[in-house]
Chains A and B, each alone.
Chain A
Amino acid sequence: MVKTFGRIFPYCCIAAFILHWVLVLVLALPPRLNSKITALSPPRIKTMFSSWRLFTPPYTYHQRLYFIIKDTTRNDNTDTLEVLEPLAKQKRASAPFNQKESNIDHLVNNNASGLLRTVWEYKKIPGEAFPSSSDATYISSTIASVKNSRNYQLYLATLYNYCKLVLKEHHISESGKVVKIIIRKKMIRPFKDINDLNDKQPEILVFENAFTTLKP
């Protein structure tokens, strides 16, 4: 019995090895080639072996995340804080020892992108749907269709938590304040206009929610 096992074990190893690699190869293929198979695989395996997509597709815009802070006691008093551009500058200034800035940049950007993905999945963003305008009604109706989804709530809660940190850094008290989040895309100058240094790209509004109080 032990002898037989000893004889077949190397073959079992080779069979497991081949099977493993066939599965990994299938899981790693781009979604359009293997969507049916990856849909069947457990999420844990999928995240472990698939999604190798460095800069695919490349970003064609810079993200801008605005926190609009309104004092409820004084209707005319509104503060606007944009957080991603200063974060990118800090990251560049402290490179290569920029781990802390890099981590925060990663966390905030990933959550802002996740929020946009949740809202705009299968839909056209305002810049594509209405090239010259950003329709607030269109955005609010799109948000309304996903606002109960778990992902939307998690991403939004993360950004509000980050907002609290930013307020603390700027010595702004949370009490009596309501906050709204705005995300804009600032397009990178198209490649065909590479040498046109005067070409200023517009910011497209892609997300705007209503004012809410920050939860403790």
Chain B
Amino acid sequence: MTGNTIPYYINRLQQENYKSFYLAFLRVAISTWFLKELCINWSSLDILYGTESFVVHKPNFISRLPGGFAMARTHFWWLIIPYIGVLGLNIMGIGRWVTGLALFIMVDLLQKMNMSVINGGDKMAKLILLYLVIADSYQYFAWQNKKKEANEKKKKLRNLLSNLAALSIMLQLCVAYFATGLAKLYDPLWQQGEAVYYAFSMERFMGTPFNQYLVQNKWLVIAATYFVLLFEIGFPVLIWIKKLRAPLLIAGVLMHVGIYIFLMIYGFQIVFLLIYGLFLPNDRLLSFFNRINVFNRIARIRG
């Protein structure tokens, strides 16, 4: 039985790149997200990476370079300028996996230059870049997507790697939720249904004046705490059941939008929500895209 099962699945994974559209969309979206992060941090780049930084770092790869952190801080623009260029190339799909790998290395370097500001969203975005290096995410939104047809064997291998990369990104999301949920299960404040009260009351994260009114409602706090706990534990298991996928994704969107608004944690939510698209079928996403694509519409009107 098992002897036939593995070749069957390998064969299936080689037949088609099942997430070709969304992988391409994710490449563009995640690169745009990095570009957006760079733009909104533009005024504080000198504090984060430059000579105005007041953080004394733990020794890492950068401190072992000639000149160490002082050198890196003085010349951080030498990294930022090519980084913008590589982001642009990756958005357009030029250079393919080589550009993807270069982008991953640059992001890793920038994150190492200031580990204190790295949050879960940054970590997840970097992991997405890593998995995208092995995926064929150039069938859409790429400068030259009509590449010379590769031979059948190469095509099969590319499909296999793309499907494994897409699966890895989905699994990474599941692992992040599950690990967080499991850690919460052991915490007394989460067990007693009180944790959301404390999170909403923290002055550092109090996103709106409504936070303090919302936490006055005991039942709302208990319901929200258990909702988060159940969602994080349940999502990794239940998302693979087709019937439950839509309600789970809607619940996830609500949770992340809630964190975005009430806890002022912005970039993180966008990265996590971007992965949700991988759980949707390729053909449906593609037909939706074709319907909203302005260029297609113009072509249809011209007839």
Instruction: With A9-B157, A52-B175, A191-B197 given, name 4 new contacts (CB 8 A).
Output: A52-B120, A55-B199, A109-B204, A157-B56
> A151–B57 Cα gap in the complex (Å)?
9
Q: List 27 A-B contacts (CB under 8 A).
A: A14-B164, A24-B175, A28-B175, A30-B179, A48-B126, A48-B127, A49-B127, A52-B179, A54-B180, A55-B199, A56-B180, A56-B187, A58-B196, A59-B199, A91-B264, A92-B206, A96-B266, A97-B40, A100-B44, A158-B56, A161-B54, A161-B56, A162-B54, A189-B201, A191-B218, A194-B215, A194-B216
Q: Does A188 contact B (CB under 8 A)?
A: yes
Return the contact of A104 from the options B47, B120, B183 (Cβ within 8 A): B47
Does A81 count as interface, using CB distance less than 8 angstroms?
A: no
Chain B residue numbers with a CB within 8 Å of A14 are 6, 9-10, 164
Q: What is the CB-to-nearest-CB distance from A129 to chain B, in angstroms, rounded to a whole number?
A: 20
The answer to whether A30 and B189 touch across the interface, beta carbons within 8 angstroms, is no
Q: Shortest Cβ distance from B167 into chain A, in angstroms?
A: 8
Query: 0/1 per residue, A187-216, Cβ < 8 Å to B?
Result: 011010011000000000000000000000
Question: Are the C-beta atoms of A92 and B264 separated by less than 8 Å?
Answer: yes
Q: How far is the CA of A165 from the CA of B117 in the complex (A)?
A: 18
Is there a chain A Cβ closer than 8 Å to B278's Cβ? Answer: no
Contact across chains for B10 and A95 when beta carbons are under 8 A apart:
no
Contacts of B230 in A (CB 8 A): none
Within 8 A of A (CB), among B49-71: 54-58
Least CB separation from A153: chain B residue: B56
Restricting to B147-196, which residues have a CB under 8 Å from any CB of A? 153, 157, 160-161, 164, 167-168, 171-172, 175-180, 182-184, 186-190, 192, 194-196
A50 at the interface (CB under 8 A from B): yes
Chain B residues closer than 8 Å to A58, beta-carbon distance:
187, 189-190, 195-196, 198-199, 202
The count of chain B contact residues (Cβ–Cβ below 8 Å) is: 65
Q: Of A10, A59, A96, A151, which is within 8 A of B10 by CB?
A: A10
Among B57, B116, B126, B216, contact of A110 (Cβ-Cβ < 8 Å): B116
List of B residues within 8 angstroms of A188 by Cβ: 198, 201-202
Query: What B residues does A84 contact at CB under 8 A?
Result: 204
The answer on a CB contact under 8 Å between A60 and B157 is no
Closest Cβ of chain A to B45, distance in Å, is 10
**Are A107 and B116 in contact, CB atoms less than 8 angstroms apart?**
yes
Say yes or no: is B287 at the interface (Cβ < 8 Å to chain A): no
Instruction: Tell me the smallest distance from the CB of A25 to a CB of chain B, in Å.
Output: 6
| B164 partner, pick from A17, A29, A53, A195, beta carbons under 8 A | A17
Does A74 have its Cβ within 8 Å of any Cβ on chain B? no
B41 at the interface (CB under 8 A from A): yes
**Chain B CB within 8 A of A142 CB:** no
Alpha-carbon distance between A29 and B119 when the two chains are bound, in angstroms = 18
Q: Specify which chain B residues have a CB less than 8 angstroms from the CB of A60 in the assembled complex.
A: 189, 198
**Does A117 sit at the interface, judged by CB under 8 A?**
no
Number of interface residues of A (CB under 8 A): 64
Residues of B within 8 Å of A157, CB to CB, are 56
Q: Out of A33, A59, A89, A106, which one reaches B202, CB within 8 Å?
A: A59
A52-B175, A60-B189, A95-B207 known; A191-B221 Cβ under 8 A: yes
Task: Please give me the residue from chain A that is nearest to B117 by CB atom.
Answer: A106
- Do residues B215 and A103 form an inter-chain contact, with CB atoms below 8 A? no
Which residues from chain A contact B264 at a C-beta distance below 8 Å? Answer: 91-92, 95-96, 98, 102
Instruction: Please indicate which of the listed interface residues B55, B177, B179, B189 has the most CB atoms of chain A within 10 Å of its own CB.
Output: B179
B residues 97-147 in Cβ contact with A at 8 Å: 116-117, 119-120, 123, 126-127
Any B CB within 8 A of the CB of A42: no
The answer to whether A50 touches B204, judged by C-beta atoms less than 8 angstroms apart, is no
- Is there contact, CB below 8 Å, between A13 and B160? yes
Q: In the complex, what's the smallest C-beta–C-beta distance from B218 to chain A, in angstroms?
A: 6
Checking A21, A49, A57 against B189 with a beta-carbon cut-off of 8 angstroms, the contacting residue is: A57
Give B129 Cβ to nearest chain A Cβ, in Å: 12
A184 to B43, CA, bound (A): 31
A78 at the interface (CB under 8 A from B): no
For B184, list chain A residues within 8 Å (CB). 56
Judge whether A10 and B14 touch: CB under 8 Å. yes
Contact B41 A99 (CB under 8 A): yes
A62-B202 CB under 8 A given contacts A96-B264, A102-B264, A161-B56:
yes
A95 to B201, CA, bound (A): 17
Q: Write out the residue numbers on chain A whose beta carbons fall within 8 Å of the beta carbon of B196.
A: 58
